[in-house]
Structure 1
Amino acid sequence: MKRKINIFPILVIILVFFALNAYVLSGFGTFSPSASFAPFFWVFVISLTVALFFAISQMRAHGMSKFFQIITHVFLIMLTAEVVFAFFLLVGDVFGFLLSIPSSFEPQGYQALGRNVYWVDFAFTMFCLTVVLFIFGIIRGKYAYRVIKHTLYFDDLPKSFDGFTITQISDVHAGSFTKPKQVQKGIDLINAQKSDLFVFTGDLVNNAASEIVPYIGHFSQIEAPFGQFSVLGNHDYGDYVKWPSETDKTNNLQQLKAHHAALGFRLLLDEHVELTKDGEKIILAGIENWGLGFGERGDLQRALAGTSATDFKVLLSHDPSHWEAQVKNNPSKIQLALAGHTHGMQFGIEAFGIKWSPVKYRYKHWAGIKSENGRYLNVNRGFGFIGFSGRVGIWPEITVIELKRKV
């Protein structure tokens, strides 16, 4: 029996999309109302939209192609720039309406609707700036690795581990890389931190295990005195592509696990290890992917089996929703959880005291450190990228966490 498609939300999205473009067109028309470029504008919008739907249908049938990437990127850039332009245009229109400026005081440049051409100029400048930022994000931003350092204090950290450092990366998505030399710069930056421990918190590939093969020589260079450890993310299971058979899908996952070993990563699958120093220990646990809406595979209880409530524990769990659901209030205290998954949506603002990304509407905590109940969560913004082949405002991250004992 075929599943019925609810067409109402689709119609709403289409109407909102065309209303947005009509409003943007009215703003462009403020510059030169006499110019008849509206037909060209609509031909471009409709052609781009049709091309997008065609690209999506081709992608579903034959996989991601260069055509799909180009069309989706052009559509995303134009849509985002239009939203920015429409926002500033609306601000000007609302203020113009509320102020109800008498016509005798209108400076030259006001058009129909009482628009000030200088404000429209500003809105258009923001439109152009958005386009430039996205182009920069595609060309340079996606490899603009940065190191973010945190120092966290604990009452119950074993004395021997005071000053212990952990380097974390997440979400490599190797299938998206196109510039090995740029990736190598990220690897060099990881090793330059000289941390005691290295951890990777999932999504090594987009879909297929073979994606990491060209980069095994890069990531296998990562070394830390206490070892390199990893967990799986939602993309690592191959759930987002159609496999010839279930056996092929299973074999792909087994091959990916073998690649973790080739990288020198100890893959933690609902298990833990003890890290010892001067007769004291901390627990490093890792679970399979557990995320609301992305597969709840991981078994935290199994991963912690054999540990005590008083042990100092660090947990690797790909999806931060797991921390909210099972970790922050767990009877067996987990002092530090390390996650990734969100990428900060690869787009947002983190400057001038502002921290915003559209992903905040999906995840309660989507980047950086969160503390609750005397426990910490760090969400890494991701080393790689997927979908949008770039980053704007949310740059690829290498996290360094220093554990300190409260005195």
Structure 2
Amino acid sequence: MAKRLILFLLLFLISDIYFYQAVVTLFSGSSIPIFYWFVDVLIIVSIVSIIFLRQRISDIQRIASILITAMLLVFIPKLFSFPILFIEDIGRLFRGFPARSVYVSEIVVFIAVAIFLAIVFGLTRGRHLYRVRKEILYFSDLPEAFDGFTITQLSDIHSGSLSNIRGVQKGIDLANAQNSDLLLFTGDLVNNMASEMDPWIDTFTALKAPYGKYSVLGNHDYGDYIKWNNASSKEANLKRLKEIHREMGFNLLLNETVTLQKQGQRIALIGVENWGKGGFHQFGNLTQATEDIPIDSFKILMSHDPSHWDAVTVDHEKHVHLTLAGHTHGMQFGIEVFGFKWSPIQYFYKQWAGLYQRDGKFLYVNRGFGFHGLKGRVGVWPEITVLTLKRSDSATA
């Protein structure tokens, strides 16, 4: 983690210095270069202040979110400009380092402005630019009655960040329009407090699925990221959050399994509490949740953090056919075009968005319905997942 932070700071510094050269080339003699450094210093001082005053600022998460947004708007356009200026420097090296080309500097500033505007779009309209992502998964041992069974997965609602009623309703309507058999929610209903969900209970109660709605807890649902007056207040918050799941019609699974039946055949739906690497709580207990399940049953697991799949699920004694997770949000920033996907989150999580397969077992990581930290999404849009289960023999029928 420390090495990655140092790398980030070096990239920030180098990109800053290079982009400043383009600014000076185009705007020398004006006040723009002074404003340039003023913004940089303001952001750096603000971050340092947050670090040292974190014990005395009650609304630290809101302020940190603003700073993250500012860093994104300032840093990313400069980072994309850096390679162009660096290539120009290679040419200048063999020409005795003449003055920078005004033409190249104009290109650099144009690209930076375009990227800046794209980020602004993501921070405003991208919050509710929902995308339906569909996958068909084939299994040789899927019970015949469940051939063609559909699942809609939502994850990471983070209701404490939501404010646009029409935008959220668009996502609810889109989820219901998929007409899936089953609806599963894989954790992080709130940012910190159960009360964040109060204005949205009726909205999310409208989600429908004929075979039911099931859910699990995510790391934010335990209330670990704010200070409580006492332990009982924190416990009461979690109790209230569990009640809200029931009020919305969700069956909250806490290291347990339910059986779904169709035409006399069954599949096992497992839900574990949050289990994550890197300092996150490991309350999830897959062994406990599956102790009464026949070893040859078809199993679907809801587990909020995808790191649980690699660390526990793949090598577990009981074969879990399909695991559904969330948690990463795709970092709410990245590039996904024509099958290519990239996000800084991939340097922290091996499985961070979309479908993964190993040893005949599938993992799907949902990019999240809501947002947290960064007040929007850039390139990694909010997701509604639709998975269709098929018997492998039906692929050749």
* Correspondent of 1:254 among 223, 239, 248: 239
| Native 8 Å contact 2:61 2:373 kept in 1 | no
For residue 258 of structure 1, what is the amino acid of its counterpart? E
In 1, the alpha carbon distance for the partners of 2:285 and 2:117 equals: 45
1:84 aligns to 2:69 (yes or no): no
Is contact 1:56–1:68 with CA below 8 Å preserved after alignment? no
TM-score, normalised relative to structure 2 = 0.92
Q: Give the equivalent residue in structure 1 for 2:197.
A: 212
Q: Does residue 270 in structure 1 map to residue 270 in structure 2?
A: no
Match of 2:215 in 1: 230
* Map 1:2-401 → 2, pairs under 5 A: 17-33=12-28, 35=30, 37-54=32-49, 60=55, 61-64=57-60, 69-94=65-90, 96-97=92-93, 100=94, 113=98, 115-293=100-278, 294-401=280-387
Could you tell me whether the CA contact under 8 Å between 1:346 and 1:393 is conserved in 2? Answer: yes
The offset of 1:131, in angstroms, is 1.1
Preserved CA contact (<8 Å) 1:93 1:114: no
Query: What is the DSSP-based 3-state SS (H/G/I as helix, E as strand, rest coil) of the residue aligned with 2:137?
Result: strand
Q: Distance in 2 between matches of 1:382 and 1:9?
A: 25
Structure 2: runs of 5+ lacking an equivalent: none
Aligned partners of 2:11 and 2:79 also within 8 Å: no
In structure 2, distance between residues paired with 1:395 and 1:10: 26
SS at match of 2:206: coil
Specify whether residues 66 and 10 from structure 1 end up closer, same or farther in structure 2 by C-alpha distance, changes over 3 A only. Answer: closer
C-alpha change, 1:38 and 1:181, in structure 2 (3 Å) is closer
Deviations along 1:122-170, one digit per CA (max 9) or x if unpaired, are 2222211221111101110010011000000000000000000000010
The DSSP-based 3-state class of the residue aligned with 2:26 is coil
Q: Are the aligned partners of 1:158 and 1:281 in contact in 2 as well (CA < 8 Å)?
A: yes
Deviation at 1:269, TM superposition (A): 0.2
Partner Cα distance (1:309, 1:176) in 2: 41
**Kindly, what percent of the aligned residue pairs are identical?**
45
Residue aligned with 1:83, SS? helix
Q: CA deviation at 1:21?
A: 2.5
Contact 2:326 2:367 survives alignment (8 Å): yes
Aligned residue type for 1:83: L
**Equivalence for 1:109:** none
Question: RMSD across aligned C-alpha pairs, in angstroms?
Answer: 2.4
* Aligned twin of 1:108: none
Q: Is the 8 A contact 1:168 1:200 kept in 2?
A: yes
**Structure 1 CA distance for aligned equivalents of residues 137 and 387 of structure 2:** 7
Q: Helix, strand or coil for the counterpart of 1:29?
A: helix
1:167/1:47 Cα in 2 relative to 1: closer, same or farther (>3 Å)? same
Contact 2:64–2:373 (CA under 8 A) maintained in structure 1 = no
Structure 1: give runs of 5+ residues left out of the alignment: 1-6, 104-111
The secondary structure found in structure 2 opposite 1:120 is: helix
- Letter of the 1:93 counterpart: D
Distance 1:11 1:289, change over 3 A: closer
Q: CA deviation at 1:56?
A: 5.9
Q: 2:212 & 2:44 partners in 1: Cα distance? A: 49
